[in-house]
Structure 1
Amino acid sequence: MKKISDLFSRHSRKRILSQSFFLGAIATAGVILNAFSLSLKTEAQTPLPIVNNTEIDSYAQAVLAMEPARQNAFEEIKKLIGNGEIPKIVCNDSNSFNGLPKKAQDIAVNYCTRAQKIVADNGLSFDQFNKITLELQNNNMLKRQVYDSLLRLQQTPESR
């Protein structure tokens, strides 16, 4: 008798995992976008430059690097709050931290600081990162390019 896990091929599981990770990565990007939404409101009126492949790869690398930190911060805050609802946390809005216990506020601030560093370490300014995130919402071609880059970056060396 076959196990349930044998019913799904390794490729199928890998694809499902990649797709799930992509959605989490885009959610992370959304959090970062919210963190700097005030500065984007004025910049959104100017046309966005075309994003090149290097920027797409840098963006994907930053998103992948941020995701574990985002999940960890979320889980830590969730443990502190218990069954309570976790408020929406916006990095550049200190008022969004007010509903959190002091220790949870520290976790959120630490995550926001790390996210900024991760973006910079991957060769993008926060403005560039946020512009790409904003453009992803309306540009299916860019969304596909970022998705492909995320998949490529997650592949093990022997599967490339």
Structure 2
Amino acid sequence: MKRISDFFLRLSLQRKLSQSFFYGAIASVSVVTSVLVISTKTNAQTPAVNNTEVNSYAQAVLAMEPARQKAFEEIKKLIGGREIPKIVCNDSNSINGLSSQAKDIAVNYCNRSQKIVEDNGLSIDRFNKITVELQNNNDLKQQVLNRLIHLQKVSDPR
């Protein structure tokens, strides 16, 4: 018979893992996809993020994460013990500084990520704006975290 403490310990561990995954994924996504849309619409207000966009954003982040981890590991193997440089998909300088093989991996990842975002109903522009908004809006961050936890539970019912 399972003890109640085991149940709470498991829930606490699941929540910590989900939160760690969320913050890691958001940080990775923002590093990989940022440099953002500061160009043409600098002064424009970002409209509120609706529930559909929160869901689309969370689904895109979850779908991108395995590809991001794989690309990261492949680039890590290629560059050996050196520090992995910051790779930003819409900053060609960050990608051009990589070796030919690493550049191919990064470009492939960026192209797949863009398709994942669009397949989940968001434009790259909107995805990037939501990413920026997450850094400044704790309510939105909590909404996305809750959605990520829900999606993970649905995809991995135990």
**TM class, shorter-length:** 0.7 to 0.9
1:119 positional shift: 0.1
Query: Contact 1:28–1:63 at 8 Å: present in 2 too?
Result: no
Q: Could you tell me the percent identity over the aligned residues?
A: 65
Taking a change above 3 Å as real, the CA distance of residues 100 and 47 of structure 1, as seen in their structure-2 partners, is same
Structure 2 matches for 1:49-128, cutoff 5 A? 49-128=47-126
The 1:43–1:33 alpha-carbon spacing in structure 2 relative to 1, beyond 3 Å, is: farther
SS in 2 for 1:43: coil
TM-score normalised according to structure 1 size: 0.86
Measured after TM superposition, the shift of residue 13 of structure 1 is 2.1
CA contact 1:32–1:130 (8 Å) conserved in 2:
no
- CA shift at 1:158, angstroms? 8.6
How does the TM-score come out when normalised to structure 2? 0.87
Q: Distance in 2 between matches of 1:159 and 1:111?
A: 28
Deviation of 1:112 (Å): 0.3
| Whole-angstrom distance in 2 between the partners of 1:159 and 1:29 | 26
| Residue deviations 1:78-123 (CA, integer Å, cap 9, x gap) | 0000001211111122221233221111000000000100000100
User: Which range moved further: 7-16 or 72-81?
Assistant: 7-16
Aligned to 2:136: 138
- Structure 2 gaps of 5+ residues are 1-5
Q: How far has the Cα of 1:54 moved from its partner?
A: 0.5
| Residue pair 1:24, 1:67 contacting (<8 A) in 2 also | no
Q: Which residue of structure 2 lines up, in the alignment, with residue 25 of structure 1?
A: 25
The answer to whether the Cα contact below 8 Å between 1:97 and 1:105 also exists between their aligned partners in 2 is: yes
Q: Deviations over 1:23-64 (max 9, x none)?
A: 122113212442x52x33332310111111010000000011
Match in the other structure for 1:148: 146
Partners of 1:62 and 1:27 in 2: CA distance: 14
Which amino acid counterpart does residue 28 of structure 1 have in structure 2?
Answer: S
Kindly provide the amino acid, as one letter, of the partner of residue 105 in structure 2.
I
The answer to which of 72-81 and 134-143 deviates more is: 134-143
Gapped runs of 5+ residues in structure 1?
1-5
The DSSP-based 3-state class of the residue aligned with 2:104 is helix
User: Is contact 1:33-1:134 (8 Å) kept?
Assistant: no
CA contact (8 A) 1:62 1:118 kept: yes
